[in-house]
Amino acid sequence: MVVWQLASEFSNDIYKLVGNFPRDERYSLSDDLLRAARSIPANIAEGWGRLFPKEKVSFYNIANGSAEECNNHIIEAKNVGYIDEAVHERLHRKIHVITIKLTNLITATRKRIRNSAGRTSKLGEK
Confidence of residue 122 (pLDDT cuts 50, 70, 90): low
Rounded average pLDDT over 21-37:
94
CATH number of 2-116: 1.20.1440.60
Domain range list for the chain: 2-116
pLDDT in tens, 70-83: 999 999 999 999 99
Banded model confidence at residue 125, pLDDT cuts 50, 70, 90: low
Interatomic CA distance for residues 2 and 61, integer angstroms: 17
pTM: 0.89
Residue 94 has pLDDT above 90, yes or no: yes
Element (H, E) at 21: none
DSSP 12: H
Cα 89 to Cα 91: distance, rounded to the nearest angstrom: 6
How much is the pLDDT for 25? 87
